[in-house]
Amino acid sequence: MLREVWSFVDAHRRAGRPVALARLVARDGPGARPLGSTMAVAADGTWRGSVSGGCVEAVVVEAARAVLAGAAAHVLPVTPGEFLLPWEEAPACSATMQVLVLPAPPPPVHDAITVALRRDRPLAVGVGLQPPYRWSVAPTRAQLPDSQPTYVEELPRRRRLVLTGATDLAAVVATLAESLDLAVSVIDPRPLHVGSGALPASVRLVRAWPGEWLTHHPPGPGDAVVAVSHDPRIDDQAIRAALAGGAGHVAALGSRATHTQRLRRLAGTPGLDRLAGPAGLDLGGASLAEAALSILAEVVAAGNGRAGGRLRDSRLPIGVHATTTAHG
């Protein structure tokens, strides 16, 4: 996906180094990566991303380097089994992939993508599937030009994760959440906690009572609120506001005994049956990092409509993929 490689693309663009993109635009069978998966290859030989999870990346990097050296943009058909020696077993990802290899978008489109990601605004990004492989952007997919077959990726707003309590655990959760591309806000009314300096710079840190803040900034169905302050004065009002505001996932930290007491205090609160407590999946961990991983694992599972069990015990598809389509 463009979001996964865009910081790399933007850094090289600002340094004056050209970048080629390789985008998975079609496949005739199952694969390890979803349609829209993208590799970015820079002129200095560095690269990020993948289109197959490892099966064909070396071939794709060479094709991208050729484009950087002046070869024409093109759609590259590639099959993992094509590069095996006769005695090697074919990989599971044996479907033929269509990979569009072309220069990264020019400044107007590049700038629009950069601004949309920085300001967390939705954007539809189209690229033609026939020469001259033109790029286009619009606020919505319906507003893109429809003059040729086009591959479209819709960049949605990020899911929001609101943590109530600027604690040491909140700092670890927020740090891990950066790699999940969640928009993290930490809300705490206590000046010493807000001023601890422990939270990463990417976090929106607000000194406020979380119940009041959530009332004025209601979370949506794709968002999560996790109460981690361990202070009922802070967490209880946050839970009430989050449930009233329609957050898709609401959880609270604490032992089972603590959660039983919490449910007693919150009895009669509309939507209380949706409250996940104790927060997190059962990973058996004890450290702050393990607790943070447990909490975030539940956030991801809930956001994707999953229970969070072991993959070996499930018959559901492994991944839930972002919106990418071809039209025209």
Q: Are the beta carbons of 221 and 248 closer than 8 angstroms? A: yes
The pLDDT value recorded for residue 26 is 92
Burial of 180 (0-12, 13-18, 19+ CB in 10 A): middle
Task: State the CB neighbour count (10 A cutoff) for residue 97.
Answer: 25
Domains (ranges, CATH) in the chain? 2-155 (no CATH), 160-309 (3.40.50.720)
Q: Are the beta carbons of 187 and 164 closer than 8 angstroms? A: yes
Cis peptide before 103 (omega within 30 of 0): no
The pLDDT value recorded for residue 260 is 95
Distances (CA, A) of 18 to 32, 44, 63: 28, 9, 15
**Cβ-based neighbours of 128, under 8 Å, separated by 6 or more:** 134, 135, 148, 149, 150, 151
Q: What is the per-residue pLDDT across 157-206, written as a single tens digit (0 to 9) for each?
A: 999 999 999 999 999 999 999 889 899 999 999 999 999 999 999 999 99
The pLDDT value recorded for residue 86 is 53
Distance between CA atoms of 282 and 287, rounded to whole angstroms? 13
The pLDDT value recorded for residue 83 is 55
The pLDDT value recorded for residue 104 is 97
The pLDDT value recorded for residue 323 is 43
Q: Which residues of the chain have pLDDT under 50?
A: 322-324, 328
**Total-model pTM:** 0.83
Token digits of residue 220: 């949506």
The pLDDT value recorded for residue 87 is 55
Q: Are the beta carbons of 80 and 96 closer than 8 angstroms? A: no
The pLDDT value recorded for residue 322 is 44
Q: Are the beta carbons of 176 and 202 closer than 8 angstroms? A: no
User: From the centroid of its chain, how far is CA 56?
Assistant: 23
